[in-house]
Amino acid sequence: MANAEEEEAKLDCFRQWLQVNGVELRGCKIKDCDSNKGFGIFLANDVSDGVLLVVPLALAITPMRVLQDPLIGSECREMFAEGEVDDRFLMILFLTVERLRKNSSWKPYFDMLPISFGNPLWFSDDEISELKGTTLYRATVLQRKNLLSLYEDKVKSLVEKLLTLDGGSDREVCFEDFLWANSVFWARGLNIPLPRSYVFPQIQGTKDDSSSTEKSSEISPKIFSGELAKGVDEKGLQAHGLNSQVNEETASSTQGETLWVEGLVPGIDFCNHDLKPAATWEIDGTGSITGVPFSMYLLSAGQSSLQINKEITISYGNKGNEELLYLYGFIIENNPDDYLMVHYPVEAIQGVPFSDSKAQLLEAQNAEMRCLLPKSLLDHGFFPEGVQKGEDEKCKRDHVCSYSWSGQRKMPSYLDNLIFPDNFLSVLRTIAMQEDELYKVSTMLEELVGTEGERQPTDTEVRAAVWEACGDSGAFQLLVDLLNMRMTELEEHSGTEDSDTDLLKRADLTEAADSLLVVKDDKSGYRFLLLLLFLLELESLD
């Protein structure tokens, strides 16, 4: 009973904090989900325009806010100028410091957040060992090691230094504080599309205001370092390989230009995930929709089934279970967005013949060392849903005709069934090349470069030369080896032979039209077996 009263008191305090900071709960309320999901957002009443929640972007925790913070902003700007920190580190550092401050203005918000998380970084050693054989296991071990090293080398002393500016803290900083801040950022962060005029208001000033414009331009390139996040989804941080970065979107004019900025938006971040979301979030730069300029609002998806007191969910994006568990600490049973990741270890390149030359070719191709295979590819007999075989085959044929160096290489008969991305296969072709094939590629590229090195070949031209020189035979053999290695890893940690037999008995197998077995159950071992059979059949065709 005491715990319930304490939780309700925290919730009341948070509601007041939201109201003071200009947040408007127009058609929703925040309450406990009565499950492992913690707090969520629920429909309180119908709204005619579908706007359920409005949050001023001035409340968002962004790199710009940290740099302008009255307590730690000066120190952070100095570190930025010296290149010691990046934008993500700034926000995680801010969360760590504010959690430990005696009189933090963010306390009502922080009190509503979980004190621990369900992602693998919080697993015990025994729990982490259960992940062996998966990509997630290695990612978790490496990330926890990196975070611990970062904490000991930089964060601990830096947080202590910043806290002294506020008169110290009631307790000493520990690694769990930093781990908590890291998990808050990744679990609740959003990719926010902001007008440039909002991010850099000084730039909109007059020509006479040269000092403020000059000062802003000093830090702007650093805030948006890295690659622009691809595939931005409703929740936010689209992770490729469990890591991503955000950058300034290039545009010819500053008027109407959009900058993608990572940040936390209190209120919106209480929306939980669902495959069929009841709402989306949008940005209102002018206030024409919400009446609040520069705000983020929650917009009903217009589902007639949404009833009063029903939870309002959004989509975190098309993420597989490994990514969901790594970022948010949960998985979805029979997740339609699950995928199989196949990758070639970067460190293994040094062990192959002519590694230096091949590494240069990979760099010239902007090589992708891994590929993600959605399970939907296999659910439809190697063809995407809704695509006719004839259309798919024509697309592939056109692609090969324009891709081959000379246009004379015979198109493989298996091309219309190939489910592996070509940029990944080009990596494997490059790594598997023999000495004579490597010489052929060098000769063809020299024809383009010219004796004086007039220009550099494009990534497409390099891939075409590699394809012309060696085809797919070596790449397929290397791919079979990679899949065999993955199967071995999974088998080593998949339980006893009796449990494997039980899985076989429960598997629902149907024969596909092309006489290949397609497994409907989400059993990764069966999918690997299917891929191996398919690849072994292709080896004899190249």
Using CA atoms, how far residue 106 sits from 53, 68, 110, 159, 266, in Å, is 20, 16, 6, 17, 10
Per-residue model confidence as pLDDT tens digits over 52-75: 999 999 999 999 999 999 989 999
Per-residue model confidence as pLDDT tens digits over 182-223: 999 999 999 999 888 788 765 344 444 433 333 332 333 223
Closest Cα to residue 382, out of 358, 357, 351, 414?
A: 414
The per-residue pLDDT for 214 is 34
The per-residue pLDDT for 416 is 67
Model pTM score: 0.72
What does DSSP assign to residue 154?
A: I
Spacing of C-alpha 515 from chain mean position: 36
**Which residue is listed with tokens 């190697």?**
382
Domain boundaries of the chain, sorted by first residue: 1-196+257-328, 338-380+403-511+526-541
Closest Cα to residue 538, out of 487, 496, 477, 492?
A: 477
Q: Which residues of the chain have pLDDT under 50?
A: 203-234, 236-255, 382-384, 387-402, 508-527, 529, 533, 536-542
What ranges in 201-276 are assigned the alpha helix state H? 210-223
Contacts 24+ apart (CB under 8 A), 109-113: 109/14, 109/17, 109/266, 111/10, 111/13, 111/14, 112/10, 112/11, 112/14, 112/39, 112/270, 113/184, 113/188
d(CA 408, CA 347): 35
CATH topology of domain 1-196+257-328: set domain protein methyltransferase, domain 1 (3.90.1410)
What does DSSP assign to residue 152?
A: I
Q: CB–CB of 40/314 below 8 Å?
A: no
